[in-house]
Structures are given as C-alpha cells and as structure tokens.
Structure 1
C-alpha cells in the first residue's frame, strides 16, 4: 500500500521528522530508516515543532516510521563520551544542577506530550523495533496499531537509567503496575500477541497491512462528530484522576454541553 503522505507537500521535513496534512488527518513520519529511526535531541525538537505546526483543522494524527523499525530508541552516539555534535552529552547533563537537569529533560519531553491533547486523537502505527524512547513515543499516542513483527522493549533500566520520556504513566494505565514494572526492569520484548491481549495495542495486522489499518482506524475516528470526540477523550483521560462520584458529575456537565450544542442553544 502506498504511504498515506506520499503525494502531500510536507508542512515540516527536518531532522528525521516529516509532517503532512490532508484536511482533518495529519501524518507524522520518522524518516531515518537507515538508523532504524533512532532518536536524538534534534529529532525531539522536530517532533515538538510538528505538534506546534498542526493546523486547527486536524482531528487525527497518525505516527509512523519508515523502514523495518518504528524506532529502535536513542541514537547510540548519545551513549559515547563524545555524544552528538552540538548536543549535551549525558556527562554534561549530569554536571548540571538539579534545575538544569530538570529543564533539559523537560525540553526533551515536549516531543512526547502534545499527542495527548484533547482536540486530536493520535494513532501510532508500529512495526519492528520500538525500543526505549521508541516504546515511549508509541505510548505517547492515544491508540496503537501494531504489525505482527512488533517488538516493544523498555531498556532504560537495563542501562542504569529510568524511562523519562512520559512513558511510565500510560504504561501503568494500560497494563497495570506489576506488568509495567516487570517489563521495565527486565527489559524484555513484548510481541504483538501480548501487546493486544494486555491492552498496549488495539489490533495486530501483517506488516504489509499496517498503514491501511491505521488509515482505517483514523477514518473511523473521523466519522464521529468532532466535538463529541473531544468531550469523550477529555472525560476518559480525566477519569483516572477522579473519584467515581466526580466522574459522573463530569459526565453530566459534558452531556449538557453536547445537548445545548446540538440544540443550537448557547451557554
């Protein structure tokens, strides 16, 4: 199947990230298959810029990676003493004070946070390796469609680090504390069948059908009225932090807004 963005003029195309927009559907593609879409601070800045560049017409964002792997994690140069030219090394970061380290990591995290905005639904189409930062980028999205060759793994703990690119909260929410802990501290692979059974992924398909499955899911989301989708996403995202009683109050308030909107009655 042809890639969903091949005939569109990119809104952004830099540092291994391409953003294309087709009316209500945007596609973000990781474009460095030669390095298995390895991640770097430059790529994270480009991903954050892609989020800022989304037109208001966009309702669904599909995230995909070119080549055999979605993203094999951090660029290995980041683990060398020299690091990546023009970027701070891990040693440089370690030498900063607490505020400096916090600020640097917060900037990296911006690439991973905008996918959760209530005004969009984000879908990750994941094939092959999704390791470490790649796993966390897939977790940043609302939904995941995976190829039957997918291999998720959280390797940060094995390297003496922790997952710090916003992946811990969604992972626990999807699979529960015990399995999330086991996945992180062992660094083992999670394959397609387990991903679907555990709730990490909505569906698994043959690799050749991955783009089509993501496109079909995007079309199904787009078939529902935008404001109803936005309200529903906000309700579900907020449910984790609310008591049952608070959640039913939030449901009533959201429904009142929907009824008034459908009836053409202003607040």
Structure 2
C-alpha cells in the first residue's frame, strides 16, 4: 500500500492502483512501472509508493531492479498534473502551489524519498531502460547505481522545457556521471540522448538489443550477488563517500572499513 496526500488528508491505495508491481525472488527485488498505456507516466502516488517500497524492503534483498512495462521505461510526469483538475484523488501542480512554507518543501521532499533509497549502500540498484526515459523517468534511472539500456533507449531531461527544474534527485548523479558542462547542455536544451551516446558519456554501463535486456539484467544481478554481502556494502559506502573526502580522509575510511572486515572474517 502507498499513502497519498491530497487536500490535507491521506489515504491508502494499492500498488496496482498506482501502476506499480513489486516482486521479490530471493535476494532480487523487481519494481515494475506498469502503466504501459500511459508510457509509465509518474504521479504523486507513484513517488509515495516507491518510498513505501523502500521503507518496507525485505532484509534479504541485495539487488533492486527497476523496469518499465511495455515499449517505454517512463515518459515522465503524468501530463494531467499540469491541468487544473490534476490526477483524480491526487491533485495537481496548481493545488501544490497553494501550499506554504514547510508544507510545500515537505511535499517535494516526500516525492524525493521515492528515489533516494535506491542509493542505499546495502543494496545495488539497476535500471533496465528501454524506449523513453523522460524527465522523472530519466531521474529514476539516474537514481539507480547502474543502468543497462536497450539500444532503442531515449533519455531526456524535459523539466526545464516545461518551466520546472529536475527535482527528483537527478541533478547530482547527472553531474557526477557526465560533468557540469555536459549536464548543463543536456538539461537546458532538453535534447534526447540516445543509447549509444549514453554509454559513451557514462550514463550507461551496457547497451544491448531490446530482446536481450532482461537477460543482461539477470546476468549483472547474478554477478553482483556473487560478492560477499558485507564487503559489497562496505565498498559501496566507501565509493559513495570518496568524492567528498581528501585522499588522506579516504585512506582513513578504508582503514576503518577494512579493520571491520578483517575482524568479521578472522577475529
């Protein structure tokens, strides 16, 4: 179930109503955006549901796969959110604009939580991207640690062209992956980045034929699961913190993590 806030009240709705599926097979969890008739467009309820999945993720899960049903990964924000009527039961950007102060900030923060947890050091997240990954869809792919693209994938940061900014945690990973200048160019032109270019500039780890996407994700998940879980968590934690540390600070962090691993293995 996911909690959706609108008009000052909250209600519980099912993942199916939101257009999501969540499945767990051993140590692998799969989140499927399942509104193919809407090209897996996202709403406030989508983001609330993603956050709830993260909160309730079973402890045994080590790999999380995010995929889209049908020909598109996600076409981004449901365009009904731009209308005065909005999405039934969820409101619109117009109704959100009436919020004030902390309530307005909290509304956006709640949406961001649906993306933030995919970076947790105890899991590795994989985006399996085919077709369009636009705006919120592109940011969802960027929220994952790794991206495998079908060769028909089309990435686009559409928000600036719509008068908005990318606010679903996508700006930092985009800059980290491609650098500031390229990130500015991609966002402010709102152009499409194809799969081949995405791989060349660091937005994808692998590009495969659409029919090979599922197997490529399975193979990567299997390789990740072959690594000791605690060592994988500690290593990801080190890598995530590296950009914010000096070399000396990173060496100290490595020592702390390694002492814990040696004690666990041989103490």
TM range (shorter): over 0.9
What is the aligned partner in structure 1 of residue 226 from structure 2? 223
What CA deviation, in whole Å up to 9, does each residue of 1:226-257 have, x standing for no partner?
00100010000011111121111111111111
What CA deviation, in whole Å up to 9, does each residue of 1:75-129 have, x standing for no partner?
0100111111222321222222222210110111111111011110000000000
Q: Which moved more, 1:186-195 or 1:84-93?
A: 84-93
Aligned-CA RMSD value: 1.2
Alignment counterpart, residue 87 of structure 2, candidates 65, 69, 84? 84
Partner-residue secondary structure (3-state), 2:232: helix
What is the aligned partner in structure 1 of residue 42 from structure 2? 39
Alignment counterpart, residue 160 of structure 1, candidates 160, 163, 166? 163
Unaligned runs of 5+ in 2: 1-13
Q: How many residues align?
A: 254
What is the aligned partner in structure 2 of residue 175 from structure 1? 178
Q: Which moved more, 1:235-244 or 1:122-131?
A: 235-244
Aligned: 1:149 with 2:152: yes
| Structure 1 position 14, deviation (Å) | 4.4
| Structure 1 position 15, deviation (Å) | 1.1
Partner-residue secondary structure (3-state), 1:231: helix
The runs of 4+ residues in structure 1 deviating greater than 4 Å are 11-14
| Structure 1 position 23, deviation (Å) | 1.1
Alignment partners' CA distance in 1, 2:37 and 2:92:
23
Matches within 5 A, 1:101-112: 101-112=104-115
What CA deviation, in whole Å up to 9, does each residue of 1:50-95 have, x standing for no partner?
1122110001011111000000000010011111122232122222
What is the aligned partner in structure 1 of residue 76 from structure 2? 73
| Structure 1 position 191, deviation (Å) | 0.6
Alignment partners' CA distance in 1, 2:15 and 2:230:
27
- TM-score (normalised: structure 1): 0.93
Partner-residue secondary structure (3-state), 2:97: helix
- TM-score (normalised: structure 2): 0.93
Alignment partners' CA distance in 1, 2:145 and 2:87:
31
